[in-house]
Amino acid sequence: MAEVQPYRMVDPDWAVAEIERRTGHVFFRRELALLAITHSSGANHRDCSNERLEFLGDAILGFTTCQYLFQNYPAWQEGDLTRVKSLVVSRQTCAEWANALGIDELLMVGKGVGSPGRLPPSLLANSFESIVAAIFLDAGMAAAQAFLWPRVSAKADEAAGLDAEANFKSALQQLVQRDYGRPPTYLVVSESGPDHDKTFCVQVQLGTRRFEAGWGKNKKQAEQRAAGTALRELEREMAEGTGLPGL
């Protein structure tokens, strides 16, 4: 492993134990965990830093995010998927995840880079991606995605909720008002789960017609998904010459 400059002397055994505790992954190859937290400024050679791991981790994060969005937002087109993906995989998001794990106090860095609590966000973001790659190399994609999935899903749903209102509900409203003359209504078909963790099912209704339902962790999210489904169906019908007038 890389020799660390005196600025940040981190005990390797403690560092690996903390990474395992904070990520929930027990490493078979502890050298991967140490490599993931070794910045190039704290290594005696760039090959002994986490730069290559960062490259791989970025790809794994991107794939996992695409997979989640593809599976959970079936009504979305490429542009909408791309917008939300860019928010999930951003430097800011990765830095936030690194901060939540307290990675800054584990990183092996050289002089002049920063101190715990004051490290550059880009460095923290890179370290998060490096840890993702280390888990992947240690135990495969299933292990890496087990680590990523709760983070990606929460951030994607948050970003989708912010993005979808403008892209789906607004677009549906404009289309329907222009070509049908009446606004859509949103009906809560059902809700399930305890009060602190409910799931809602919502349908869009135009006149007497109801569209396929959308599910969400709150009414707003369910409405966005229902609007997206209705919009996609109406656009398909219009392309075929069978859409809107009279529904």
Residue 36 or residue 239, greater confidence? 36
pLDDT of residue 59 exceeding 90? yes
pLDDT for position 3: 43
pLDDT for position 192: 81
Catalytic residue among 18, 58, 157, 223: 58
Residue 224: name the closest of 142, 168, 146 by CA: 168
The whole-number average pLDDT for the span 202-222 is 86
List, for residues 126-139, the tens digit of each pLDDT value: 999 999 999 999 99
DSSP notation for 183-202: --EEEEEEEES-GGG-EEEE
The whole-number average pLDDT for the span 227-243 is 76
Please tell me the number of Cα atoms within 13 Å of 193 on its side-chain side: 12
- Please say if 78 is a catalytic residue: no
pLDDT of residue 24 exceeding 90? yes
Determine contact, residues 200/216, Cβ cutoff 8 Å.
Answer: yes
pLDDT for position 11: 81
pLDDT of residue 6 exceeding 50? no
List, for residues 136-172, the tens digit of each pLDDT value: 999 999 999 999 999 999 999 888 776 554 567 877 8
Residue 132: name the closest of 110, 101, 158 by CA: 101
Q: How many CB atoms lie within 10 A of CB 12?
A: 15
Pairwise CA distance, residues 126 & 97, whole Å: 11
As a whole-number percent, the residues of the chain with pLDDT over 70 amount to 81
Catalytic residue among 80, 104, 129, 138: 129
The whole-number average pLDDT for the span 57-77 is 90
Q: At what angle do helices 78-88 and 51-72 cross, to 10 degrees?
A: 140
Pairwise CA distance, residues 49 & 30, whole Å: 15
Helix (H, G, I), strand (E, B) or coil at 37: coil
| Rg over CA atoms, the chain | 23
pLDDT of residue 5 exceeding 50? no
Pairwise CA distance, residues 78 & 172, whole Å: 18
- Please say if 58 is a catalytic residue: yes
Pairwise CA distance, residues 174 & 147, whole Å: 40
Residue 119: name the closest of 22, 41, 36, 61 by CA: 41
